[in-house]
């Protein structure tokens, strides 16, 4: 194993100083009045020897890493993994690397992760935050480390975010069901205080109230396993046989809900109608196809990376936070149309 090249080697081979090489490699040749002759020589040798600066050393000196951290609730959720893929792709070109991790919605784990990343000079954070980490995020902001939130906000925290219009999303979903003639519409959601969940619930409540319908809200525990969700939803629907349509507030609640509906031998949409959140491949493919509230994954990713890169590159201390709210799209399919 040969020793790795260092900037010193380059300097020595050309009989010039380390400083000069560093200036040239950092594009400061002109600014620092290094002659073209020397500049060319250096660049040529660097190319020839395929010298790459040691990023660790660089990071130690500069406090930067050219790495952005993407913290999502669960990397194995299709919504989040699509976002991850898209963001990675975009950042790569810009010279930034992305590292992802799953918070599992646990504040302690999230806190640990942030701590660890701070020790490693991560430049910026894109986060779908769990509840209870307001202080940790605030502390990042206090240290002028760019943060962009997505999927949900932290109330009372002034920072960049990219959201969807959750309220509007469920409003459309419920209205659609009402248009189709359903009158006893259930809303299956999580026992969570997260903003996106509240907004989705509010949207449901609003329309139900407007139309003087009965409200059927069932909340399941976020942390419970697959089967418990299935049986909880199955029981709820069983106990309220009048329910003729269901709106699910997340993609996995929808798949679990469909499982539940199958379990109790109801047919979609003949016996009960269904609308899901997020447009998974599954929903396009399932028979009947499932009506879904589709989030603009590509746009979300693009906005996220745009914002974080802008903040990273601009050293303007106090530019206003970027606040983006994107619309969702209701994709009507068979699961919500009885005829």
Partner DNA sequence: TAAAATGGCTAAAACCTTTTAGCTAATTAA
Partner DNA sequence: TTAATTAGCTAAAAGGTTTTAGCCATTTTA
Q: Which does 240 bind (CB under 5 to 8 A by kind): a copy of itself, DNA, none?
A: none
Nearer to a copy of itself by Cβ, of 85 and 219: the residue is 85
Residue 8 touches a copy of itself, criterion: CB under 8 A = no
Shortest reach from residue 103's CB to a copy of itself, in Å:
11
Shortest reach from residue 27's CB to DNA, in Å:
10
CB atoms within 10 A of CB 91: 23
Among positions 23, 51, 100, 125, the unique one binding a copy of itself when judged by CB under 8 A: 100
HSE-CB at 138 with a 13 A cutoff on CA atoms is 9
Among positions 55, 227, 235, 319, the unique one binding a copy of itself when judged by CB under 8 A: 55
Nearer to DNA by Cβ, of 62 and 262: the residue is 62
Pairing of β 329-331 and β 185-190 = unpaired
Could you list the residues that contact DNA (CB under 7 A)?
Answer: 3-8, 15-20, 22-23, 25-26, 32-35, 37-38, 51, 53-54, 57-58, 60-62
The pair of structure tokens assigned to 191 is 């026992």
Shortest reach from residue 328's CB to a copy of itself, in Å:
20
Nearer to a copy of itself by Cβ, of 84 and 183: the residue is 84
Q: What are phi and psi of 56, to 5 degrees?
A: -70, -50
Cα–Cα distance for residue pair 146/123, rounded to 1 Å: 7
Contact 309, 96 (CB under 8 A): yes
Distant-in-sequence, close-in-space partners of 185: CB < 8 Å, separation ≥ 6? 174, 177, 178, 204, 208, 213, 216, 243, 244, 245, 246, 247
Query: Residue 186 belongs to what H/E stretch?
Result: strand 185-190
Distant-in-sequence, close-in-space partners of 328: CB < 8 Å, separation ≥ 6? 164, 165, 166, 168, 169, 172, 293, 294, 295, 296
Q: Which does 3 bind (CB under 5 to 8 A by kind): a copy of itself, DNA, none?
A: DNA
Nearer to a copy of itself by Cβ, of 96 and 161: the residue is 96
Three-class SS state of 276: strand
Shortest reach from residue 40's CB to DNA, in Å:
11
Nearer to DNA by Cβ, of 25 and 178: the residue is 25
Distant-in-sequence, close-in-space partners of 262: CB < 8 Å, separation ≥ 6? none
Nearer to a copy of itself by Cβ, of 174 and 230: the residue is 230
Shortest reach from residue 217's CB to DNA, in Å:
51
Going by the DSSP 8-state scheme, the letter that residue 264 receives in this structure is: T
Q: Which does 1 bind (CB under 5 to 8 A by kind): a copy of itself, DNA, none?
A: a copy of itself
Residues interacting with a copy of itself, by CB under 8 A? 1, 52-57, 59-60, 65, 74-76, 78, 81-82, 84-85, 88, 97-102, 115-116, 119-121, 142-144, 255, 258-259, 262, 281-282, 284-287
């Amino acid at each position: 194993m040969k020793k790795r090249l260092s900037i010193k080697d380059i300097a020595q081979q050309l009989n010039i100083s380390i400083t000069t090489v560093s200036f040239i490699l950092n594009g400061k040749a002109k600014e620092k009045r290094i002659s073209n002759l020397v500049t060319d020589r250096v660049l040529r040798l660097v190319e020839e020897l395929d010298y790459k600066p040691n990023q660790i050393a660089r990071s130690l000196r500069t406090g930067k890493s050219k790495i952005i951290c993407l913290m999502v609730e669960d990397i194995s959720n299709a919504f989040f993994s699509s976002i991850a893929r898209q963001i990675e792709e975009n950042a790569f070109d810009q010279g930034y690397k992305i590292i992802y991790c799953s918070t599992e919605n646990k504040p302690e784990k999230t806190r640990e992760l942030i701590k660890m990343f701070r020790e490693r000079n991560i430049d910026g954070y894109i986060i779908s935050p769990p509840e209870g980490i307001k202080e940790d995020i605030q502390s990042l902001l206090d240290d002028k480390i760019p943060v962009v939130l997505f999927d949900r906000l932290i109330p009372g925290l002034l920072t960049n975010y990219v959201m969807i219009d959750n309220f509007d999303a469920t409003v459309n979903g419920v209205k659609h069901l009402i248009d189709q003639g359903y009158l006893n519409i259930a809303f299956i959601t999580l026992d969570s205080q997260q903003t996106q969940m509240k907004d989705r619930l509010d949207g449901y409540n609003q329309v139900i109230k407007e139309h003087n319908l009965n409200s059927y809200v069932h909340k399941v525990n976020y942390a419970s396993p697959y089967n418990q969700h299935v049986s909880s939803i199955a029981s709820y629907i069983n106990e309220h046989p009048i329910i003729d349509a269901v709106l699910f507030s997340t993609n996995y609640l929808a798949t679990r809900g469909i499982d539940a509906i199958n379990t109790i031998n109801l047919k979609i949409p003949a016996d009960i109608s269904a609308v899901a959140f997020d447009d998974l491949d599954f929903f396009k493919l399932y028979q009947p196809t499932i009506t879904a509230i589709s989030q603009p994954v590509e746009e979300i990713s693009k906005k996220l990376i745009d914002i974080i890169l802008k903040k990273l590159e601009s050293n303007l201390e106090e530019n206003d936070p970027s606040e983006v709210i994107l619309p969702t799209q209701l994709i009507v399919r068979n699961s919500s149309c009885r005829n």
